[in-house]
Amino acid sequence: MTQNPDILVLGLGPAGASAARAAALAGYSVLAVERKTEPGTPVQCAEFVPAMIGAEVSALVDTTIQSISSMVTQVEQEPADITPNFPGRMIDRARFDHQLANDAAAAGAQTRYGINARDISTGGDIDLSDGSHISAKVLIGADGPHSLVGMAIGSTNDEILETRQINVPLLQPFDSTDIFLKQDIPGGYAWAFPKGGTVNLGLGVEASAKDQLKPLLEDLHRQLVAEGRVGAQINSYTGGAIPAGGLLKPYRVLGGTMCLLAGDAAGLTNPITGAGINSAVISGKLAGEAAAQYLAGDMQAAENYQEDLTDLFGPSLTRALAHRTRMAHILQNHKTPDPEQLRSGWIAYSTYWEPIISAQTEEIPCPA
pLDDT tens for 195-246 read 999 999 999 999 999 999 999 999 999 999 999 999 999 999 999 999 999 9
pTM (2 d.p.): 0.94
Whether residue 365 is contained in a domain is answered as no
* pLDDT attached to residue 367: 42
Count Cβ atoms below 10 Å from residue 55 Cβ, excluding itself. Answer: 8
Q: Are residues 128 and 145 in the same domain?
A: yes
Single residue among 295, 316, 337 that ends a domain in this structure: 316
| Residue 126, domain CATH | 3.50.50.60
Single residue among 223, 242, 261 that ends a domain in this structure: 242
Q: What is the mean pLDDT of residues 38-57?
A: 79
Q: Are residues 194 and 258 in the same domain?
A: no
* pLDDT attached to residue 53: 58
Q: Are residues 39 and 151 in the same domain?
A: yes
- Per-residue pLDDT band for 148 (boundaries 50, 70, 90) equals very high
167 bridge partner residues: 200, 236
Domain range for 196: 160-242
Q: Are residues 106 and 223 in the same domain?
A: no
Q: Are residues 256 and 197 in the same domain?
A: no
Q: Are residues 99 and 9 in the same domain?
A: yes
Q: Are residues 19 and 142 in the same domain?
A: yes
Contact 195, 93 (CB under 8 A): no
Closest CA to 89 of 117, 113, 62: 62
- Per-residue pLDDT band for 248 (boundaries 50, 70, 90) equals very high
What is the pairing mode between strands 88-91 and 64-68? Answer: antiparallel
Contact 129, 115 (CB under 8 A): yes
Residue 84 has φ and ψ, to the nearest 5°, of -70, -35
Contact 57, 100 (CB under 8 A): yes
Q: Are residues 237 and 248 in the same domain?
A: no
Q: Are residues 234 and 291 in the same domain?
A: no
Q: Are residues 138 and 116 in the same domain?
A: yes
- Per-residue pLDDT band for 56 (boundaries 50, 70, 90) equals low
* pLDDT attached to residue 255: 94
Q: Are residues 54 and 152 in the same domain?
A: yes
Contact 170, 198 (CB under 8 A): yes
pLDDT tens digits, one per residue of 262-317 = 999 999 999 999 999 999 999 999 999 999 999 999 999 999 999 999 999 999 99
